[in-house]
Amino acid sequence: MTTIGIVRHGITEWNVLGIAQGNSNIPLNKTGREQAIALSERLAAEEEWDLIITSDLERAKETAEIIGAKIGLSVSRFDARLREMSGGEIEGTTEDDRIAKWGADWRSLDLGMETRETVAERGAAALQDIVKDYPGKRVLVVSHGGLIGLTLQSLLPEQFTKTLLDNTSITILKNAEDAWQCPLYNCTRHLDGKVFAQ
């Protein structure tokens, strides 16, 4: 059985401000780094991991490196398939910006956004390759909320009709004989009771 722990990156200033990030290379803010440290301490105390694979975008890479430093693993691979859904022209804008620029029905326009189906396909392909390349291993994957959610909906459609992932949440997937299970979803108990810098 291969176990994949999927982590959403720590929070960024654009997350706080409600700005669409997509493939924009935005770093973690101070709170995001503190969230990643809290998760790293939980992972170091609770379970062994064999390797880390991450999106190559800065906010995921930084989260992965903070975790790796605590659990004694360097990042094994950067995988562009784990990037967030590309936002096309909406990257760098808030909902108010989009309504002002394109109107309330901006979602119906062709603004160069990646389709949900394409995101789900590349996310699922990345995880299938991990199962194939690292059978029986325990692999941490650091990625992005949209990509993780759409991938879960693709792999386990009956369990996940909709998803919402918190920053530095961990979701556990297990794969045995090409069958997926998700025994833990969007867990953030490492953040319980923590007060982070504003």
Mean pLDDT, the chain, integer: 95
Rounded CA gap, 198 and 192, in Å? 17
Instruction: Report the pLDDT value the prediction gives residue 193, as an integer from 0 to 100.
Output: 78
**In this structure, which topology does domain 2-86+115-191 adopt according to CATH?**
Rossmann fold (3.40.50)
Give the tens place of pLDDT for each residue, 63-99: 999 999 999 999 999 999 999 999 999 999 999 999 9
DSSP string covering 128-163, please?
HHHHHHSTT-EEEEEE-HHHHHHHHHHH-TTT-SS-
Q: Is 47 part of the annotated catalytic residue set?
A: no
**Where does the pLDDT of residue 41 fall: very low under 50, low under 70, confident under 90, or very high at 90 and above?**
very high
In 44-100 the beta strands, taken as DSSP E runs, fall at: 51-54, 75-78
Query: Of the listed 34, 65, 84, 114, which one is catalytic?
Result: 84
Instruction: Report the pLDDT value the prediction gives residue 80, as an integer from 0 to 100.
Output: 97
- pTM of the predicted protein model: 0.94
Mean pLDDT to the nearest integer, 19-38: 95
**Where does the pLDDT of residue 197 fall: very low under 50, low under 70, confident under 90, or very high at 90 and above?**
low
Query: Of the listed 9, 34, 91, 144, which one is catalytic?
Result: 9
Q: Residue ranges per domain, the chain?
A: 2-86+115-191
Q: Is 9 part of the annotated catalytic residue set?
A: yes
Instruction: Report the pLDDT value the prediction gives residue 42, as an integer from 0 to 100.
Output: 96
